[in-house]
Structure 1
């Protein structure tokens, strides 16, 4: 007897005796059996419930076995069902015709029950092997696709990290020299102005030539303006130092072990790097970024990879706000108030980061595919369709978290990143 998970077989024959004999033999062998009396009946039954194998008589009224087989093979949903012809037509021409239509075997009438059972067993086993092979191919293809995404992600992260770290290093050295010398320059200038004051005190009448030069340079204006210039230099240096620090934070090299990381530092460094994209342009006003940070503990994670997730989602939010004004008039654009709200909070043993834009939102169809490999709504050359797929992999597979998306047409889109705390 066969195991209870054996398939059912559809027997198609217009001869009641053949149906009865075959049905009893197959049932005795442990198969589930259904019967049809002609081709049309067979097609109707197959449409309702696909059998794993079909024993099909060739000579039948209304629709013969050849036409039935042709229709089965023409349907993608049924083309993989093995068909074994049963016929008294033993000439080569009919055998070739049947096999060319997609049948896997021939049984000649009158048939022996043992031969039928043997052939059914062989072709059922072949179908199992074929299905298993197809399943393995699909699994390997999916695994290969995931490996490709992971490889691209690692290469992008490595290249970006090296580039950003290199730029930060090159900036750090000269800006360190500038910032470090600003205070000394301020002291030197104060000393020089003090000397000038002493000269004016000891030589109240320096002569026409010196007085003309003092009038040209407007010493009083220089004295008032120099501190402001020095302050501006110091502020500019501090600004560049802050950018350099943000670049180093963003490009932190991940070790094989997770590190404890301040999520807010990662978000702030990413926002600072993207600051130039937040400024007003010809298409829209400046994008306002609203941060609502809760008091969070440091999270054990791979900081560089999480920063990449922040970068991708924030850059997509900016793209969405750019697109939301692309078809508006000048007056409509002026009335827009593009915003990105970044909110962090702890909930249910997770650290959650919400990134919400008030753009035009996404349709349900696009939202369902937004994390698919190679899916993108951007124009050719502007998106690869890897960004969000990689982001989801980093959050869910690497960190055991969850990345989800909520979007309403006309109200905007929100991505929620959840990382175990």
Structure 2
């Protein structure tokens, strides 16, 4: 194998063309014509060398003899398409075989064109120019797609964090009230201990217990708030979905979001385990449960009901969670939009419209599904599922 270097025209980087042929006259003729056109030529004598060069990813076009030593040209082309996953790399067969069966086999393997031997220099230059333009177009589209995907991922990350912060603000407002209550208990307890100390008495055991509980309460709230607002780098762990539901309900109750709501939960006695980020699962549940609480808040007390049902389908290997409210429901013509970013049925200032869009994204990224059913005057049911954790976990 040897390489030849052509000079690029108009200061452009020369295209790299791989010539795979067994006979020296064919290699020499192709090299001479291509270098005269300003291309860089790479020569290969057999199929292994050809695939090595193609796999390196720095080839713009392949001129391939059907009778190349080793694996024949048809199989080399098929390997470029199927094994190397290079659908946009132009491959042209250079061959004396011009029968219909050969052309059918070549097209089935993924070749782009045929050139007959002996190769006409003008025809070669014209075919190569067209295929290189097509390759350049595909490369441009692929680069633009990569940039779009990167920007989409950045936008998704910003959306996720915006919803976390909005949710955090909502929860923090309620938690702040509760923390004031805890602080009041701690202040009074400290004053009792101080009074006892002034009299030379040790603290009462109940006062010490109150201090410990108050400190634990504060620490728990701090942990919840930090988890909820934390961006990225989520730790995947095996979680019992019902246990996480209970934790989120406790947090929402402390925050005052569910204190006037009758929440009924049900689930199997055995843990329903999922391998997921606790932060993300909490975010999903906080969004769904606060939406349900908001939906029933204007109902008479006996209709302020939220039902949560966790279940597992061992056959399908899915964990499922249903969040159902007895609220006013969503109009049928609005249901198709509930997962759209910034769409909300809440009054101005009461919602960002990001919650369900983010929830859907988090669930689907983990291989799950989410669906909403609603009927005016009867309420709304949201069901999502996630893959069950493997039994060994």
TM-score (norm 1): 0.44
Greater helix proportion: 1
